[in-house]
Amino acid sequence: MNRFIFATFALFVFVSDFTLIAAEKPNIVLILADDLGYGDVSCYGATQVKTPNIDRLAAEGIRFTDAHAVAATCTPSRFALISGIYPWRKPGTGILPGDASLIIPPKSVTLPSILKNAGYTNGVVGKWHLGLGTPKSPVDWNNEIKPGPLEIGFDYSFIIPATGDRVPCVFVENHHVVNLDPNDPIRISYKEKVGNEPTGKERPDLLKQSPSHGHDMTIVNGISRIGYMTGGKSARWVDENIADTITAKACSFIETNKEKPFFLYFATHDIHVPRVPHPRFVGTTSMGARGDAIVEFDWSVGEILKTLDRLKLADNTIVIVSSDNGPVVDDGYLDRAVELIGNHKPAGALRGGKGSAFEAGTRVPFIIRLPAKANAGHVSDALIALIDLPATFAALARQVVEQKIEQKSDQTIDQKNDPKIPETAIPDSENVLPALLGETNHGRDSLVLAGASLSLRHGTQKVILPNPKGRAISVNTNIETGNNPNPQLYELKKDLREQNNLAEQEPDRWNELRTILQEIRQKKVVVP
Ligand code: NG6
Ligand code: CA
């Protein structure tokens, strides 16, 4: 649909039904879990783990059954969310080491910069994994750390620089490592050992959780990581406390900014490896660390909801819960997740998992609670994606501005208050506001997904491009990758589990869909 018609439609929806949203800029809280699967929460069918807070959000909001991250791993998925650009358009957006440079150039148009233009105060708390610094001035962890979140539109940041399983194992608040002792400087390397501390490979006897693959370098808090680190002893995190620390930071960001419109991107460490939940969650499920980490994640969601209630912000705040990619059971540590899984299906009825081109790689839980709990309990099968949030939030913020302008007696448009985003800046992000508001069950028509192979969703049809080289099953994670030397075509309406490959018997349909995918790939896009 043409963007203008779409925006007009969105405005109509807005003005007709959401005067409350239009009256004030709603706050936005985006809670993004790490590696949480489609079937990992009870409102999406899990029975061996209970997630009452996420379920409450679904009961008070809209639950999407066909929402996607556009990539099946963390960095490319988050790159798309923040930039509105498909990650495969830009080299270097694969899973990053902890010493990588920032992959979104400062001053580009981003999800937070769009909201900042519209008057929001933006915070990011939790996992970053989009790099910091530049190739010319790589990060010195003992000095000012930039560019990073603050240079691409956030006003406040409290981040885990990469992932929990990668050095440096410290928090960075705005431009500095938290609790760093200047007499114990940090050094990081992903190439060779730095300092004299033993690695997991050298001293497995020192480990409280052993690796199953990789993850055998510097030991922090009894767990060996990816990468080498020395120094920064007083700044190192304790895994058991990560959820408490970042949840408290997220809640205090809300409290500090309660008087003005804010956007909080709360990216939890849960349920990524190493899964080391706080002792009060240990044993809350029969599934060991992975199940207990889901309960911990649900607790974090509950703390956010409680804070919004306490501050009487719930009726003017949009809350979204989703995940950056699909589930994985063994992602590198012997935490007994495999042995204790029981009948739990992390991907629900879907095929594949993290990293996969099959649906479970990217189809994730996605729940939105609207201000005043509009359309509570609705379930939507609209095809939407995290990459749509920049354009959708842009529409949301612009509606608010236009609404204000309309109220002016002379009807003149105040340019300062009418932030314009060049259409080309977020080329792959579509405005799906009507779907998010629950006014239509139609989202986008097509969506390109980056798992082990590239695939396309077009309505309920799915094609996966042939991949002659890739393995069919990942050696490390035992996940079906979706790689196949032959074309694959599935009709998900009848075959959600992608069992019946129609490509050979329906070559015309295959060609048609492949052409759509090629056209999207060949679209002329300026990538900053
Ligand atoms: C893989 C890691 C895995 C995890 C993943 C990133 C190994 C063998 N595997 O390379 O443990 O860290 O990268 O996960 O090192 S993500 O959710 O951040 O994309
Ligand atoms: Ca992830």
Q: How far is the CA of 331 from the centre of ligand 1 (A)?
A: 7
Pocket test residue of 34, 73, 169 for ligand 1, highest count of atoms within 8 A of CB:
73
Judged by DSSP in three states, 49 sits in coil
Q: Ligand 1 atom closest to Cα of 226?
A: 15
Q: How far is the CA of 42 from the centre of ligand 1 (A)?
A: 26
- Under the banding of pLDDT at 50, 70 and 90, the label for residue 167 is very high
Counting Cβ atoms within 10 Å, is residue 188 exposed (0-12), middle (13-18) or buried (19+)? buried
Ligand nearest to the CA of 268: 2
End-to-end CA separation in angstroms for the chain? 26
CB count, 10 Å around CB of 324? 29
Distance CA 88, CA 90 (A): 5
Distance CA 312, CA 297 (A): 23
- Cis preceding linkage at 274, omega within 30: yes
| pLDDT recorded at residue 401 | 27
CB 222 within 8 A of CB 206: yes
Q: Whose CA is nearest to atom 17 of ligand 1?
A: 74
- Under the banding of pLDDT at 50, 70 and 90, the label for residue 421 is confident
Q: Ligand 1 atom closest to Cα of 166?
A: 12
- Cis preceding linkage at 226, omega within 30: no
Distance CA 117, CA 119 (A): 5
Residues within 6 Å of ligand 1 by CB: 34-35, 73-74, 95, 129, 163, 165, 213-215, 226, 272-273, 325, 331-332, 476
pLDDT, one tens digit per residue, over 442-490 is 999 999 999 999 999 999 999 999 999 999 999 999 999 999 999 999 9
Span 54-60, average pLDDT:
98
Q: Whose CA is nearest to atom 3 of ligand 1?
A: 331
Element (H, E) at 425: none
Distance CA 295, CA 288 (A): 11
Q: How far is the CA of 411 from the centre of ligand 2 (A)?
A: 47
Q: Ligand 1 atom closest to Cα of 34?
A: 17
Domains and CATH numbers, the chain: 26-369 (3.40.720.10), 444-522 (3.30.1120.10)
Structure tokens, 499: 């069992």
Distance CA 287, CA 336 (A): 8
Question: What residues have CB less than 8 Å from 97, skipping those under 6 apart?
Answer: 162, 166, 190, 226, 227
What DSSP letter does each residue of 287-328 carry, written as one string? TTHHHHHHHHHHHHHHHHHHHHHHTT-GGGEEEEEEESS---
| pLDDT recorded at residue 410 | 37
Question: What residues have CB less than 8 Å from 205, skipping those under 6 apart?
Answer: none
Ligand nearest to the CA of 95: 1
pLDDT, one tens digit per residue, over 246-294 is 999 999 999 999 999 999 999 999 999 999 999 999 999 999 999 999 9
Judged by DSSP in three states, 148 sits in coil
Q: Whose CA is nearest to atom 8 of ligand 1?
A: 214
| pLDDT recorded at residue 409 | 36
Structure tokens, 528: 């900053």
Query: For all residues of the chain together, what is the average pLDDT?
Result: 92
Q: How far is the CA of 475 from the centre of ligand 2 (A)?
A: 18
Pocket test residue of 270, 476, 479, 481 for ligand 1, highest count of atoms within 8 A of CB:
476
Ligand nearest to the CA of 37: 2
Q: How far is the CA of 272 from the centre of ligand 2 (A)?
A: 7
Instruction: Evaluate if residue 400 carries a pLDDT over 70.
Output: no
Q: Ligand 1 atom closest to Cα of 35?
A: 17
Q: Whose CA is nearest to atom 7 of ligand 1?
A: 214
